[in-house]
Copies of this chain bind each other. A is one copy, B any other.
């Protein structure tokens, strides 16, 4: 099943690793703060090829966001399971959030909730992308809550609880951005789990 060799000159870089480098730079410097020149150098992608592949800086940024979602956010959502009790899965979720937020000590925080959120101010396309990413995360959390028997007609419906859970995750990302260590954030994450479970109509924790 090996891909047939492309026709022209082969690329001297791996697209996935190149996008990883773009993610790193955009996350550290922001959209406006990351010059195309540096992006090309650290991605090891020639300018001409970059424009052929992504159309321009905006396209590259969106591609980097997609790469980030696929490789960094997806595992965080996967921690939701269901693979244990709701309490266990929520705790694992916030552990993964903290791990992601503090993964790069030089530039903590989240590409979506820092760089993309900032760039969304003036660029409507970026704002739509931000809304879509947020909606996806909230939908995934709501599904997990409903799998735990969270009644859609509860005083706090699963969608509202999911939006709250997602807001907390974003808030933690920002706290990490300010330099707060993961260890200092853990009590907040634990409080978050307890507070969310308290909204559960089934009352007692421990539901699959």
Residues of A within 8 A of B (CB): 27-30, 32-33, 107, 109, 113-115, 117-122, 127-128, 130-131, 134, 155-157, 159-161, 163-164, 166-172, 174-175, 177-180, 185, 187-188, 190-192, 194-196, 198-199
Contacts and interface: CB of A to CB of B under 8 A. Distances in A.
A119 B30 contact: yes
Contacts of A174: 113, 117, 134, 167, 170, 174
B121 A27 contact: yes
Contacts of A191: 156, 160-161, 163-164, 199
Contacts of A198: 194-195, 198-199
Contact of A30 (B30, B178, B187, B192): B30
A52 B163 CA distance: 46
A192 B163 CA distance: 10
14 contacts: A107-B122, A118-B118, A127-B179, A128-B179, A131-B180, A156-B190, A161-B191, A163-B175, A163-B185, A166-B175, A167-B172, A167-B174, A194-B198, A195-B196
Contacts of A168: 164, 167-168, 171
Contacts of A33: 32, 118-119, 121-122
Nearest to A177: B117
Contact of A156 (B32, B122, B194): B194
A67 to B, nearest CB: 18
Given A131-B179, A187-B163, A188-B167, A28 B121 contact: yes
